[in-house]
């Protein structure tokens, strides 16, 4: 089973006529849903609000087959995000996070990963940067990294996370706790302006990960390993918007490596095989392309 830690968010997505359409989102939640829909046993470690949106979120996870053993129902409101989509379908967000369900983790009891039952722990996005959830997650993955693989998707949302310098320092700290990192080229530019992707990825490898995967939008993706650099072109599609595309890619990457048997601490040597990594990138890219053909998170 894959354990995904992080937030549920209600995305307010522009609809025809100037209306806003509320849709269930949140990077970690999207990843958990995408994995579960494809039959990969997945549990979300997080919280849902006690409002209408929280009930909508809970029903989403039931319908997708996400295991809810570690998903707490609270009386707090749901986190909201206003999606602002540009002419190319790329989205930026304004967030309402104060006092919401997703980050009040002071007394949170985190599951102890059993390597016999847990394939990996995945974390990232807002809950990895907003306190007190951020410290709870960091301590948990630090304790668990010797038992199971740790994967990290920063999914940076600068308006809710802090200054570029604060986010860069936090990101590098979390990269150092991870075995695999997936990040977008756009996110890297936010915290490393005027620095090439190759240089950043190689510096990140020195912090500890075995594999760093960078998605490049319509240019595809590229994986960096100490033994190889492997690029994969994007699947051409007519883009409606890119909301959830990165999450779909991450779910495909993790799901493929897990189903193929390579997501284990004693089998990470396979990530040094260009053929293995190329197959994972190809599959992940197909899922990301599909996500771009529908409005909002798939």
91-141 pLDDT, tens per residue? 678 899 999 999 999 878 899 999 999 999 999 999 999 999 999 999 999
Of the candidates 128, 225, 216, the residue with the CA atom closest to the CA atom of residue 177? 128
H or E element, residue 81: strand 79-85
124 and 154 Cβ atoms separated by less than 8 Å: yes
CATH annotation of 2-291: 3.40.1190.20
pLDDT band at 89 (very low <50, low <70, confident <90, very high): low
Q: Would you give the end-to-end CA distance of the chain in angstroms?
A: 22
Band of residue 8 on the pLDDT scale cut at 50, 70, 90: very high
Which residues 6+ apart lie within 8 Å of 235 measured at CB? 285, 286, 288, 289
The model's pTM is 0.94
Burial grade of 63 (CB within 10 A; 0-12, 13-18, 19 or more): exposed
Q: Which token pair is 10?
A: 């209600």
């Amino acid at each position: 089973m894959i354990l995904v830690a992080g937030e549920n968010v209600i995305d307010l997505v522009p609809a025809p006529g100037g209306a806003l359409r509320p849709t269930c989102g949140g990077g970690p939640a999207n990843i958990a849903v995408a994995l579960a829909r494809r039959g990969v046993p997945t549990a979300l470690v997080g919280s849902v609000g006690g409002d209408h949106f929280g009930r909508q979120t809970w029903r989403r996870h039931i319908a997708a087959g996400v295991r809810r053993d570690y998903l707490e129902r609270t009386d707090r409101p749901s986190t909201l995000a206003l999606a602002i989509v540009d002419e190319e379908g790329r989205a930026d967000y304004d967030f309402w996070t104060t006092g919401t369900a997703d980050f009040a983790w002071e007394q949170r009891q985190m599951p102890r990963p059993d390597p016999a039952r847990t394939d990996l722990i995945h974390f990232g996005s807002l809950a990895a940067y907003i306190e007190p959830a951020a410290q709870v997650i960091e301590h948990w993955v630090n304790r668990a990294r010797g038992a199971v693989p740790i994967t990290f998707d920063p999914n940076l949302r600068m308006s809710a996370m802090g200054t570029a310098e604060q986010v860069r320092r936090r990101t590098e700290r979390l990269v150092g706790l991870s075995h695999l990192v997936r990040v977008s080229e756009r996110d890297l530019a936010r915290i490393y302006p005027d620095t090439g992707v190759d240089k950043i990825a190689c510096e990140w490898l020195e912090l500890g990960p075995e594999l760093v995967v960078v998605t490049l939008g319509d240019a595809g993706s590229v994986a960096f390993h100490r033994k190889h650099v492997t690029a994969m072109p994007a699947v051409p599609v007519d883009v409606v918007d890119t909301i959830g595309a990165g999450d779909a890619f991450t779910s495909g990457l993790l799901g493929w490596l897990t189903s193929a048997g390579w997501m284990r601490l004693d089998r990470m040597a396979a990530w040094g095989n260009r053929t293995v990594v190329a197959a994972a990138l190809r599959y992940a890219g197909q899922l990301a392309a599909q996500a771009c053909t529908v409005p909002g998170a798939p």
